Amino acid sequence: MDLHQITQVLIADDLDFAKLQQAVLAYRQLLTQQNQLISSTEESRADIELDTGKAIGTTWAALCIDDLVRTKRFVKGLYEAVSQLLYKKEGPIVILYAGTGPFATLALPLTTLFRENQIQIRALEINPISCQYLRRLIVSLHVEGYFESIEQVDASTYSIPKAETIDILLSETMQRGLEKEPQVAIMCNLVPQLRHEILMIPESIQLSVGTILYPDEPAQPVIYQPFFSVFQLDKECIRKQQRSDGALAFPTQQYKLSAPQLAHSKNLVLLTHISVFGREKLTPGESGITLPVKLPSLQHQGEKEVIIELVYEGGKDPGMRFREVI
């Protein structure tokens, strides 16, 4: 399979799992054949600890490609976003891609669908090994003309030159529950520097508290049942939370767990829903980045109702903090 055929599977409307698996395997082989980087050395496995979270090492960033449904939904979402913009204006559509990893996995397939005068990519990546790999890869695949620049910078503090020229901001620097990695800090740094109408991918990431319902029949899938939404990362939330000293600050909010919800108190989880773009979504459990995160068991399970407090905190170990209010 060549990149064009791989791309056709990635942007197909239907999800044929066997075909997708084959296409992603071929995609990975294509990306690694020039250079055996992903021969995992200690250096390539090393994460970079930032004040805004962890930037995962080159080996781990490369492996993200194998999160099949994630890879498909993001590539298709990006394709839809570019197509929508090309209806309205002439290219090039400029994509700021923050956290490319060694492959720029989510954007490279678009080089088989659009010309260089239709899309231009500005790549940001903190990891020097990933940056170096990407620079060589695009030359070996003859797609360097699609890349306006590749910069080795921290996207959570980066000042964007010529910010008004950017049309799409793309970043997938997250883990389930928006924990550990700096997705929130990156979006909160970059979005306010960009035009209001830029398209942000993912458009929104929603966290909710809920439970997992296990079916009676083992063959049936588990059901993820959200109770209430506790955090939503979208353009509106990002523009609201800006503080003058630049630090992330989100409101602490209290929620009431009712008696029926308390019946599930041992199985409380944080659920992640991602709206990638348009109809492209990732629901809880569909991808590694939407797996449920177990919340601490409640101390007051005998009560009629329990108040819990949640806040999203930035910093070196970002994530949702959970507390029972006594």
Ligand X SMILES: C[S@@+](CC[C@H](N)C(=O)[O-])C[C@H]1O[C@@H](n2cnc3c(N)ncnc32)[C@H](O)[C@@H]1O
User: Is residue 208 close enough to count as binding ligand X by CB under 6 A?
Assistant: no
Residues 6+ apart with CB under 8 A from 192: 238, 239, 242
Looking up tokens 């054949």 gives: 33
Q: How far is the CB of 100 from ligand X (least distance, A)?
A: 5
Q: How far is the CB of 50 from ligand X (least distance, A)?
A: 6
User: Is residue 230 close enough to count as binding ligand X by CB under 6 A?
Assistant: no
* Backbone conformation region of residue 246, classed left if phi is above 0, alpha if psi is from -120 to 50, else beta: left
Q: Compare residues 24 and 85 and give the one whose CB is closer to ligand X.
A: 24
User: Is residue 75 close enough to count as binding ligand X by CB under 6 A?
Assistant: no
Query: Among 37, 81, 124, 160, which residue sits at the site for ligand X (rule: CB under 6 A)?
Result: 124
Query: Among 137, 150, 186, 238, which residue sits at the site for ligand X (rule: CB under 6 A)?
Result: 186
Total residues contacting ligand X by CB under 6 A comes to: 24
Q: Compare residues 210 and 318 and give the one whose CB is closer to ligand X.
A: 318
3-class secondary-structure state, position 326: coil
Nearest to 107 by CA among 184, 1, 10: 10
Q: Compare residues 154 and 167 and give the one whose CB is closer to ligand X.
A: 154
3-class secondary-structure state, position 179: coil
Nearest to 324 by CA among 304, 312, 307, 305: 307
**Half-sphere exposure (Cβ direction) of 294: Cα atoms closer than 13 Å:** 5
Site for ligand X in 263-322 (CB under 6 A): none
Burial 237-263 (b: 16+ CB within 10 A, else e): bbeebeeeeeebebeeeebebeeebbe
Q: Which residue minimizes CB distance to ligand X?
A: 99
Per-residue x/- mask for ligand X, residues 141 to 180, rule CB under 6 A? -------------xxx---------------xx-------
User: Is residue 138 close enough to count as binding ligand X by CB under 6 A?
Assistant: no
Burial 8-26 (b: 16+ CB within 10 A, else e): ebbbeeeeeeeebeebbeb
Q: Compare residues 194 and 306 and give the one whose CB is closer to ligand X.
A: 194
User: Where along the sequence are the contacts to ligand X (CB under 6 A)?
Assistant: 50, 55-56, 61, 64-65, 98-101, 105-106, 124-127, 130, 154-156, 172-173, 182, 186
